[in-house]
């Protein structure tokens, strides 16, 4: 399911940063809770996690969605990504994400967990945007 897209960007003054867009749900099936909804591997060199966000094609209608990002099974977020009801992105969340581990190892295995899903069962098309730069 993962269709990572790669493009060069500038984020928070970090020149030569990259962004990957990783799909962790399809566009027609409502998102459900679970671990390892998607797995991907970082490049063959150490990287710095600059930022992370999440979006949905269809907004949750009744409750907050909570997403976690893990490196080798351990969360890199001390405050997880959330998408508020009726919103499509974590960028406008009432509680902002906090990255607790910015140092990602070469070839790190990353996983995306859905810790809580929309109780209205309407959210589809989940994508995680991973902003990083080479050390």
Contacts of 38 (CB under 8 A, 6+ apart): 1, 2, 22, 23, 24, 111, 112, 128
User: What is the rounded CA–CA span in Å between residue 107 and residue 45?
Assistant: 7
Please count the structural domains in the chain.
Answer: 1
Q: How confident is the model at residue 15 (pLDDT cuts 50, 70, 90)?
A: low
> How confident is the model over 40-67, as a mean pLDDT?
97
Q: How confident is the model at residue 1 (pLDDT cuts 50, 70, 90)?
A: very low
> How confident is the model over 63-88, as a mean pLDDT?
98
pTM (2 d.p.): 0.88
Q: What is the CATH number of the domain that holds 96?
A: 2.60.120.340
Contacts of 58 (CB under 8 A, 6+ apart): 88, 122, 123, 124, 125
Give percent above pLDDT 70 in the chain: 89
User: What is the rounded CA–CA span in Å between residue 16 and residue 84?
Assistant: 31
Q: Work out whether the CA dihedral 118, 123, 124, 125 comes out positive or negative.
A: negative
Residue 7 has pLDDT above 70, yes or no: no
Place of tokens 């976690």: 68
Q: For residue 124, give the DSSP letter.
A: B
- What domain range is 45 assigned to? 5-134
Residue 63 has pLDDT above 90, yes or no: yes
């Amino acid at each position: 399911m993962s269709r990572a897209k790669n493009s060069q960007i500038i984020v928070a003054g970090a020149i030569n940063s990259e962004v990957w867009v990783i799909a962790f749900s399809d566009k027609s099936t409502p998102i459900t809770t679970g671990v390892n909804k998607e797995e991907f591997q970082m490049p063959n060199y150490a990287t710095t996690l600059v930022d992370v966000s999440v979006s949905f094609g269809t907004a949750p209608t009744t409750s907050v969605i909570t997403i976690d990002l893990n490196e080798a099974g351990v969360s890199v977020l001390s405050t997880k990504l959330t998408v508020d009801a009726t919103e499509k992105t974590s960028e406008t969340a009432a509680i902002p994400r906090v990255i607790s581990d910015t140092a990602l190892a070469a070839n790190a295995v990353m996983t995306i967990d859905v810790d809580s899903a929309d109780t209205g069962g309407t959210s589809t098309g989940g994508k995680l945007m991973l902003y990083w730069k080479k050390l």
